[in-house]
Amino acid sequence: MNEKHDIQLFTAPTMNGWKPLIFLEEAQVGYELVPIDFSHQEQKSASYTALNPNGRIPTLVDRGNGDHVVFESGAILWYLAEKYQRFLPTDAKGRSRALQWLMFQSSGVGPMMGQAMYFQRIAAPQGHHDEFAITRYVAESRRLLEILDKQLSDRPFLLGDDYSIVDMATYPYAATHFWAKVSVEGLDGLQAWLARLRARPAIERALRLPSPFPAFFGEGDVAAAEQINAAPFVRS
């Protein structure tokens, strides 16, 4: 996987970090994987922020396109879908629907569930328990998952019959509802979709890269994983 390939991907085992990995594994595209170590703040290094001024992961470099750099996970998925002509509708209306649901994930599902995770898994264990924030973000995350559930009530994938980058973008956050402490009870369409996607071998491979983090799914030593996850936020 780390041979000389067009695609170079800087990422880490997080919900956003898995999105492009899922695409690359599904499309069977060769790529160079560059793991980013949060514990050493590698995402804040001068060499990395020269690529991604926001100092976040993931970041993609396309050597086959003049070393073109793409950051933001949704933008990376869209770029890859266009480059390889995979997992994206070809008609104008279909692409518009895909963009709408991709933005729904990027502006809603991701940020709300991310905040639910932060206040419960990082802030609270450090003694900063904010019940108002926790209640708000958990409730809003549940509301957004209910919207996904309704969308999935009569179709196998978010855009209909065809698996797409919208599913790839949304799955990592919805699948880690345990880590956000957001219930999916009663969301039958969503739960069936989660099971359907987790059964895909490419997704299972992607979720183990750059290294497994099973606690996000309620597996393994959750308490220890909580400490590892919080380490980059601890200030001496």
Q: What's the rounded Cα separation, in Å, for the pair 60 and 10?
A: 6
Would you state the torsion angle of the CA atoms of residues 188, 144, 86, 82, taken in this order, to the nearest 10 degrees? 170
Helix (H) or strand (E) holding 94: helix 92-104
**Average pLDDT taken over every residue of the chain:** 93
Q: How confident is the model at residue 3 (pLDDT cuts 50, 70, 90)?
A: low
How big is the chain, counted in residues?
A: 236
This prediction has a pTM of 0.93
Classify 92-200+209-232 by CATH class. Answer: mainly alpha
- At residue 230, the pLDDT reads 66
Strand partners, 11: 35
Phi, psi of 50 (to 5 degrees): -65, -25
- At residue 40, the pLDDT reads 82
236 has a pLDDT exceeding 50 = no
Q: Looking at residues 132-139, what average pLDDT do you find?
A: 98
Q: Is domain 7-84 annotated with CATH 3.40.50.20?
A: no
152-168 pLDDT, tens digit per residue, is: 999 999 999 999 999 99
Q: Looking at residues 45-64, what average pLDDT do you find?
A: 95
Q: Picking from 3-17, 74-88, 133-147, 175-189, which range would have the lowest pLDDT averaged per residue?
A: 3-17
98-135 pLDDT, tens digit per residue, is: 999 999 999 999 999 999 999 999 998 888 999 999 99
- Would you list the domain boundaries of the chain? 7-84, 92-200+209-232
Q: What's the rounded Cα separation, in Å, for the pair 32 and 9?
A: 6
Q: Looking at residues 5-30, what average pLDDT do you find?
A: 97
Looking at per-residue pLDDT, the higher value among 16 and 226 belongs to: 16
- DSSP of 155-210: -SBTTBSS--HHHHHHHHHHHTHHHHT---TT-HHHHHHHHHHHT-HHHHHHTTSS
